[in-house]
A and B are shown apart, each in its own frame.
Chain A
C-alpha cells in the first residue's frame, strides 16, 4: 500500500503495488456512490480545471462528476472556447489557469506527452485524461478494476485486446496495467493496426481472431480511431467487421465465462454486434460506473502525493 506521486501521467511508470493501491482505494469510493449522500469532503476548497483540448464526452463527464463528489470546485475548459484558438500556447493557457490557483489540472490532449509537459511547467497536480496515442491511464485502471471485480485476481488471466491497437492510447495503458498485474495479454486485429513491435511491451501478437479469443477470459474491444489514421489502414469498414467484428458465431467459440469489455464509444455492427454489446456477458456499462470510482480514487491519492515525479524528467 503506497502512493506518493503528485501526478498521474501514465501507467508505464507505475509499480504493480501502486496500481493495486488505486484499485483498493477505488473500491471504497465505489461504495460512496451507493450511499444516499454520494459526496465526501476530501477535496473541499480545491479547484480542478478540466482542460479538454481534444473532444471527449464520457471521460470528461466522469471526471466532472468524480470531482463534484469529492467536493472540489470545477472549471471546464474546451479547445473551442479557449484562447488556444487565438494562438495562445498550451504552456501559457495552463499558467493562466494556475494563476487562478488551480490545484489540479485534468487534461485531454491530442499530442502524446502533453500531460508530462504540463507536469514539468506547473505546480498543480496533473492527471492525464488521454494524450494522443500515448496513454489513457484512468481507462486502464477502470478496466483493471472491472476485471478484478468479476474475476478476483488479474494474475494468470488471458486478456485479448482486439481492434485498432496502433492508434489506441487505451491499448497501451491496458497493456502496461494488465501485464504488470500478471495477466497474459494477446493483441489481435489487422496486421496494419497490430504490428509485431507491440511484442516488446510483453504481450503476444496474432492476426488470427479465432485463435486470439479461444482461451480468453476477457475480450477487450477497441474502436477504429478514424480521427488518428492518416491514411486508410484496411480496405473497408465492412471488411473489418467481417474479419474482426465480434459476432454470435465467434463468441460461441470462446470460453463460456469469457467477458466482453469496450471503452466506448461503441460502433455497433463494426467491432461488436449489437446483441453482444447488450448481453449479460458485456461489462460495458459497468466500466462507466467503475470509471467514476477510479477517478475519485486517483484524485484522492494524488492530492496527498508530494513525492518527486519519477517520470516527469525523462
Chain B
C-alpha cells in the first residue's frame, strides 16, 4: 500500500493562491499588462483561479491562456508520446509580462519547454514562474518567482494535485511515497 499524506487541503490551497496573487501584484505594477498562462494538466485551472483573485486586487480583468508544452519536450523519443492538450492563448503575448503557472516544479524541464513554446506565439517582455509546489531536484538552472509551498521530497515520491475543476471531490495536494 503506498502511503499518502495530504500536504495542502482545500483551505490551504486557496490561502496559498491568494498569497501568490498578492505577490504577483506586488512584483508587477497595475496595468503592467500581466497575463497568466497555465500549463496543463493542473496549471491551467490554477491560472484561472489566480486570475480571479488578481482581477479583484487590481480591479481589472487579468487574461488567462493555456499552453501545452508536449510538442516542445526534450524526451519525446525516450517515452510514450504524451497526451497533447489544446493550447488556447486568446491574446498577443508580445510586450506582456507572462506569468507561467504550473502545479509542481520538479526537474524544470517542463518550464524550459514552456518558455520555448511561448516563443512561437510572440516575444513577452518578461516571463515569471508561479508554482503551487516546489519539490526540488532541478535538472536545469530554473527557479520559480512565486512558490506556494516548498516540499522536500525523495525521487521516488510523487506529488498529485486534485482539483474540483478536474473532477475531483475536493481540492487537495497529496504526497505519495
Q: Using a CB–CB distance below 8 Å, which chain A residues touch chain B?
A: 1-4, 24-25, 27-29, 31-32, 35-37, 39-43, 46, 297, 300-301, 303-306
With a cutoff of 8 Å between Cβ atoms, the chain A residues found around residue B117 in the complex are: 40
- Given the interface pairs A27-B86, A31-B86, the reply to whether A40 lies near B72 with Cβ below 8 Å is yes
Q: Which residues of B contact A (CB under 8 A)?
A: 68, 71-72, 76-77, 79-87, 116-117, 120-121
With CB as the reference atom, state the residue of chain B lying closest to A26: B84
* Residues from chain B with Cβ under 8 Å of A36 in the complex: 120-121
Residue of B nearest to A307 (CB): B80
The 10 closest A-B pairs by CB, nearest first: A304-B81, A40-B71, A28-B84, A37-B120, A42-B71, A301-B81, A304-B80, A25-B84, A1-B83, A4-B80
A31-B86, A35-B121 as given contacts; A25 in contact with B72, CB under 8 Å: no
Residues in chain B near residue A40, CB distance under 8 A: 71-72, 117, 120
B77 to chain A: closest residue by CB: A303
Contact status A303-B120, CB under 8 Å: no
- Closest chain-B Cβ to A33's Cβ sits at a distance in Å of 12
| Interchain CB contact under 8 A, B71 and A3 | no
CA distance A25 to B83 in the complex (A): 7
A-B CB contact pairs (8 Å), 26 listed: A2-B80, A3-B80, A24-B84, A25-B81, A27-B86, A28-B71, A28-B86, A28-B87, A29-B84, A31-B87, A32-B71, A35-B120, A37-B120, A37-B121, A40-B72, A41-B71, A41-B116, A42-B72, A46-B77, A297-B84, A300-B76, A301-B81, A303-B76, A303-B77, A304-B79, A305-B80
Kindly list chain B residues whose C-beta atoms are within 8 Å of the C-beta of A28.
Answer: 68, 71, 84-87
From residue A314, how far is it (CB to closest CB) to chain B in Å?
A: 23
Chain B positions within 8 Å of A27 at CB level: 86
For A305, the chain B residues whose CB sits under 8 A away are 80-81
A27 to chain B, nearest CB (A): 7
Residue in B closest to A304 when the chains form the complex, CB atoms: B81
Contact residues in B for A2 (Cβ distance below 8 Å) = 80
Bound-state CA distance A29–B85 (Å) is 10
